[in-house]
Structure 1
């Protein structure tokens, strides 16, 4: 007898809970991070959640002074800070989500090198290293875009 059967979704397949933020910065949906960053199914929900929490803390630290100034100016959330709308969403919110997602994936790649993230089957740390740097660069660029800072620092010697 051939064919396949589908028993439906199990309790472990349920969508992970949204990571709630401080109320000023937006909450983060692990399913969106997983989809946006193409995080493999082998990464468990608790590992993904831990990486997202670390990323939220990192981005929050980088935006702390700017956030304090925006709050003092009377803005009740990141979405309220004047910014162009892209696809109906605040540019700043989209950049924040990108920064968190990129930092989260960088953390996962760095910590769980035994998981194949390259798609080519390479598990060598040297092969993964450039992608970690690229992910961190993407996160830094997103934060700098929110802060309206240049993406490059140049120092004369």
Structure 2
């Protein structure tokens, strides 16, 4: 009889080695996006490099900004300096979870054992959950009701 034990998490929560300073994405009017904050909020493992996280966050910001273009144009005259704290929280939540969904979809493990299907299904579920949180954050920000419909 043999036992397998693990003494440490194979996917560390800390940023990769060499990542000492925080990298941010600065945008006009929209809130600043911090890689360190994103890692903490959505629990991005340390195996995801800063370059990959930056790419995912940039794509997420572009997508969320497109989704919110009409809303921003309607509130911009009354808020020329930027979003309120509540609006910024919802915006960053949408961006962070969009990026997490993309990372989960892009970086599935390859495994030749029977565990691959189970882990791939769990990653798909997690990616879908992250997309739902993103959509709900955008809906709350714009004042639209939340609605999730699933065809069976």
- 1:152 maps to 147
Which residue, out of 43, 50, 66, partners 1:45?
50
Q: Which runs of 5+ in 1 are unaligned?
A: 1-9, 81-89, 116-120
Partner Cα distance (2:83, 2:139) in 1: 17
Partner Cα distance (1:78, 1:151) in 2: 24
Partner Cα distance (1:55, 1:69) in 2: 22
TM-score (norm 2): 0.77
Which residue, out of 25, 30, 36, partners 1:31?
36
Matching of residue 105 in structure 1 with residue 110 in structure 2: no
State the Cα RMSD in Å: 2.4
- 1:19 maps to 25
Which residue, out of 115, 123, 129, partners 1:128?
123
CA drift at 1:104: 0.6
Partner Cα distance (2:92, 2:129) in 1: 16
- 1:70 maps to 75
CA drift at 1:106: 0.5
Aligned pair count?
Answer: 130
Partner Cα distance (2:96, 2:148) in 1: 24
SS at match of 2:145: coil
Partner Cα distance (1:112, 1:32) in 2: 20
SS at match of 1:139: helix
- 2:10 maps to none
CA drift at 1:134: 0.3
Q: Which runs of 5+ in 2 are unaligned?
A: 1-15, 111-115
TM-score (norm 1): 0.75
Task: Render the CA deviation track for 1:18-68: whole Å, top value 9, x for unaligned.
Answer: 1112x1111100100001111000000000000000110111011000111
